[in-house]
Each structure stands twice: as structure tokens, then as C-alpha cells.
Amino acid sequence: MLKDLLKWYAEDFKDPMVLDPPEWFKSFIFCEAFLQMPFFPIAAYAFLKGGCKWIRTPAIVYSTHVATTLIPILAHILFHQFPVKPHPGPQTNWERWLLVSIYVPYLLVPVLLLLTMLLSSKYNPTSKPGSTSGKAKKKN
């Protein structure tokens, strides 16, 4: 059943990377399985509970890692000359952009998460001008 779904997706959307992944793509799959997947339940807990500022650093690491992996994937889709056999890849610009549209949410969501972690005062507390931190206060 799952193999049939994967085959349908690869054939209809011309994504040969899921049926015959290049070695570099396999390294991304490995990272996804052992680095990214454990992050999901931790992040879900932190965001559902709310107010968990400790999620900031793991979320920054996760989002920058995922966004960085998408750059070579998207470049591969747009510029690689895919073979027609055994697993046909995108041949026309329309097929390439269709496949890009499937992968681009995996870039946009991490970038939005990164911006949230960097710019939101909820996760990025800044000290007020003129105030000193607890470590910098003079002991009397």
C-alpha cells in the first residue's frame, strides 16, 4: 500500500529522488530520521504548552538545518538533467516548478519558524536599554 502510494507520487509528480535517491539525498533522509524527527514531539510539547523559551535554540538549529538542506534539493530539481528511465524526472519547466512547489513548503515553514524565534519578543527576550543583567550587577 505505502509502496504503491510512493510509486504513484513519484510517477505523477516526476520525483525520482524518492524511488532512487542520490547518495547526497540519502544523507538528508538520514538527518531527517535521526535529527529532525525527534525534534517534532519536543517542539509540539513546547508550543502546545506555551511559554517554553527553551525551545528557541533547538528551533533555530532545526529550522536552519532544514532550510539549508532544501537549497541543494531545489537546485537539483531546477537544474539537473534527469534521465527518462528508469524513473523519469521532470523534463519541462512546468514539471520542474510543479515539483518545486511540493518541496518549497519544507523551506518556507522552517524559515517562518526561524524568523519567529529570532524576532518574536516571546522567544527572544531583549534587555531594556540602560538596564543591566543579573550577572553584570555590582555585588554590595
> CA-CA distance, 73 to 26, in Å (whole number)?
11
> CA-CA distance, 40 to 59, in Å (whole number)?
10
First to last CA, the chain: 71
> CA-CA distance, 37 to 33, in Å (whole number)?
5
pLDDT (tens place) for every residue of the chain, 140 residues total: 888 999 999 999 999 999 999 999 999 999 999 989 999 999 999 999 998 999 999 999 999 999 999 999 999 999 999 988 888 999 999 999 999 999 999 999 999 999 999 999 888 776 454 445 545 555 54
pLDDT tens by residue, 15-30: 999 999 999 999 999 9
Is residue 131 in some structural domain? no
pLDDT tens by residue, 75-95: 999 999 998 888 899 999 999
> CA-CA distance, 29 to 69, in Å (whole number)?
10
Is residue 128 in some structural domain? no
Is residue 57 in some structural domain? yes
Amino acid at 5: L
Amino acid at 22: P
Is residue 110 in some structural domain? yes
Domains in the chain, number: 1
Is residue 43 in some structural domain? yes
Is residue 112 in some structural domain? yes
Q: In sequence order, what are the residues at sequence separation of 6 or more whose Cβ sits closer than 8 angstroms to the Cβ of residue 72?
A: 24
Is residue 79 in some structural domain? yes
For residue 100, give its domain range: 2-119
Is residue 8 in some structural domain? yes
